[in-house]
Structure 1
């Protein structure tokens, strides 16, 4: 990575919100399942809509997962 990219790079574990793809990679859950969870919980605190894109609020989603017995 060149210096400019390094200065703008934020590690995934420090990000406030994650894309569906990032969340799938970070949590080890498939993208399809993450989208399904978001669709099943449209008013959940861990959902952030940016235009037509869904973002997952990392820390709130972790709390959701901690309370879940099945994903």
Structure 2
């Protein structure tokens, strides 16, 4: 799913999702398609569950 779709689905800002991806360079919850950031829904949800704050 795109960053825009993930932002709407999870109620997290687009900039915050991009910031999280930048901080977690080797995370398994996203992938890059060229310069486009794509979010893996199930893995992102698991990652969000582990976080205390966003």
Q: TM-score range by the shorter chain?
A: over 0.9
Structure with greater Cα Rg: 1
Report runs of 4+ in structure 1 exceeding 3 Å deviation: none
Q: How many residue pairs are counted as aligned between the two chains?
A: 54
CA distance in 1, matches of 2:25, 2:39: 12
Q: 2:51 aligns to what?
A: 68
Q: Name the Cα RMSD after superposition.
A: 0.6
| 1:18-69 residue CA offsets vs partner (Å, 9 max, x unmatched) | 1010010000001110110111111100011111111010000000011111
Unaligned runs of 5+ in 2: none
| TM-score, length of structure 1 as denominator length | 0.73
| TM-score, length of structure 2 as denominator length | 0.94
Unaligned runs of 5+ in 1: 1-17
Give the structure, 1 or 2, with the largest relative contact order (CA under 8 Å, sep 6 or more): 2
